[in-house]
Amino acid sequence: MDNKLYEHPLFTVRHELLSPEDRIRVTYERARLVIQTWDLTPDEIGNCTRRFWLHQQDPMFALDPALANIVTCSINLFIGTLYPLLSKKPYLRPLVEKARKAEILGNLFLSELGHGLDILNLETTATKVSDGFILNTPTESATKFMPPTLPVDGVPRWGIVMAKLIVDGDERGVHPFLVQTSDEFGMCPGVSNTCLPVRSGTMLDYSLTSFDNIRLPSTAFLGHSMDPPKDRRELLHGYISRIPIGTSAIGMPAAVSVKLLATLAADYSLRRHVQGSLATKVPIISFRTQALPVLYTTAIAHVLTAWMAHVVDFYVTERNELGTRITLGTVFKTTSIRMALHCCRNLGERLGAQSLFPQNMLGTMETDLRGISIAEGDILALCIRLFTEILLGRHNDLPIPHQADTLLAKRYTAYVNSNTFLMSSFPAGHRDSRFNDLILPQCEPAVRALGHALAYSAAVDAGVAQPLLDLFEMACIKLDSGWYTEYAGISEAVRMQKEDRAASQALPNLKRYVDELGVRKWLPSPIITDSKWEKWLRDVKLDNRAFAGGLLRRSSRLEGMLARL
């Protein structure tokens, strides 16, 4: 996996010192470089081979989630959707080849501003005419939200637009249509882009995109048939089958981000010294309040890494049904992202004011992880659907932990048993109002509990060091201490003793544990070594030289905005 992209000027440039426009431009150039470096074949993408999954673990995806968005949209959603059509629609091959080489960038336009997850009720229309179709956005609420569509200099952009097919005034379900949104010079006629204000986190041109009666050729129709569908829901979900694959893939950068966080926090905590009233300086890692969040993050990083390897093995084993793989993807995404967010919050204050600045990634990474939790399937919605189906007995093929007698496995079993019993008391079962009141709030915690058990089991199988296993177990127990106190006899005093024992055993080996994560050379943060800090400070001073001694003045743009108020 060591493609040495961390040595390339596009990745060594100080991103945080660039203007918002230049940051976005650099992100696009980075994304194209990543696509070209991995050079995945259409077969690798379409069949989701092991190399496809390893590509999702490139540390650059965790360091620059905006880059990951561009790459994932073009590789997984665009090429992945076109791949099954190539045998019957060979005219698509040149387009796929250009996307594979990043000569064009692809997108999927599904969600609309007024509908969100309610994708069965999309309003965008594609009306059949004699020589093709007319694609139209009839209302503001039908505006596609929020794939990035700003024209990129020299790089055409294409998209697969999900729209209602209208034939002779009859609506025939939602189907995919191939549309070019921009060429190398600007937006294509009839396509409107409204770039949204820059959000917190890594920057990208997230947009509102609409279509004004665009004439499409007959070859733009990518659907199976224009006949009235027997099952509109099944038809639509068949078209967007790459989204569940994205659900599985998107958890991998989250797991890698925990490795980066652990390395950043450990190196900083070992480097940073304080003296106080003592004669000698001591590293801040010597304080247990500093060591605990660093050790917990390191343990979580090792356990998620071991589990991720198991997940990839499961994905590429052909005997495992696609539906079961998608189910595991939901569990993996939920668990890895929630644990990564937990690590971000716990480490934030321990890095002091340094954690607030973008060069040290922590605040930016937390915001991006929140975005990832929504992308490719909102975590809460996914968990509600999955756990409801588990309670209804529809997932007998669900992966189970090899280590079935662990505390974490017992916690998941308790969720299933207690909620199965509870649901049996409802007159209307899962359609009862009490299901909404009592069981829905438990769906995500239950799925997370399964993830904790699977991750722990995989880490045991992989031979992860016992102190790290113990710390991971304690991290999960702290998230749900009430149940473990009531049913497993782990009082707060017992938990503290277990935590202290595991931390005391792990701390002397922290440097080795972090080295084993193998991501230090990807870290751009300047606070991990004295030399990095000195170089970064020189860059900042050089960047500030043009402004030194200047005054903050109102720009003409600001004056214009104020004048309109």
| pTM: predicted TM-score of the whole model, two decimal places | 0.94
- Predicted pLDDT at 546: 62
d(CA 15, CA 108): 27
Cα angle for residues 408, 410, 411 (degrees, 5° grid): 65
- Predicted pLDDT at 547: 62
- Predicted pLDDT at 549: 60
Nearest by Cα to 70 from 44, 31, 34: 31
- Predicted pLDDT at 362: 84
Contact 104, 70 (CB under 8 A): no
- 48 Cβ contact list (under 8 Å, min separation 6): 245, 315, 316
- The H or E element containing residue 470 is helix 466-478
- Predicted pLDDT at 1: 64
pLDDT digits (tens), the chain, 565 positions = 678 999 999 999 998 888 889 999 999 999 999 999 999 999 999 999 999 999 999 999 999 999 999 999 999 999 999 999 999 999 999 999 999 999 999 999 999 999 988 899 999 999 999 999 999 999 999 999 999 999 999 999 999 999 999 999 999 999 999 999 999 899 999 999 999 998 888 999 999 999 999 999 999 999 999 999 999 999 999 999 999 899 989 999 999 999 999 999 999 999 999 987 777 889 999 999 999 999 999 999 999 999 999 999 999 987 788 788 889 999 999 999 999 999 999 998 898 888 888 888 888 899 999 999 988 778 999 999 999 999 999 887 788 898 889 999 999 999 999 999 999 999 999 999 999 999 999 999 999 999 999 999 999 999 999 999 999 999 999 999 999 999 999 999 999 999 999 999 999 999 999 999 999 999 999 988 889 989 888 888 888 876 656 677 788 888 898 999 8
- Predicted pLDDT at 178: 99
- Predicted pLDDT at 523: 94
Q: How far is CA 199 from the centre of its chain?
A: 16
- Predicted pLDDT at 217: 98
Q: Which 3-state string (H, E, C) describes 161-224?
A: EEEEEEECCEEEEEEEEEEEEECCCCECCCEEEEECCCCCCCCCCEEEEEECCEEEEHHHECCC
- Predicted pLDDT at 355: 81
Nearest by Cα to 412 from 445, 456, 449: 449
Nearest by Cα to 265 from 509, 525, 508: 525
Contact 154, 141 (CB under 8 A): no
- Predicted pLDDT at 312: 95
In three-state secondary structure terms, 372 is helix
CB atoms within 10 A of CB 91: 9
Nearest by Cα to 385 from 321, 443, 335: 443
Contact 256, 56 (CB under 8 A): no
Domains annotated for the chain, with CATH where assigned, are 5-100 (no CATH), 106-221 (2.40.110.10), 243-517 (1.20.140.10)
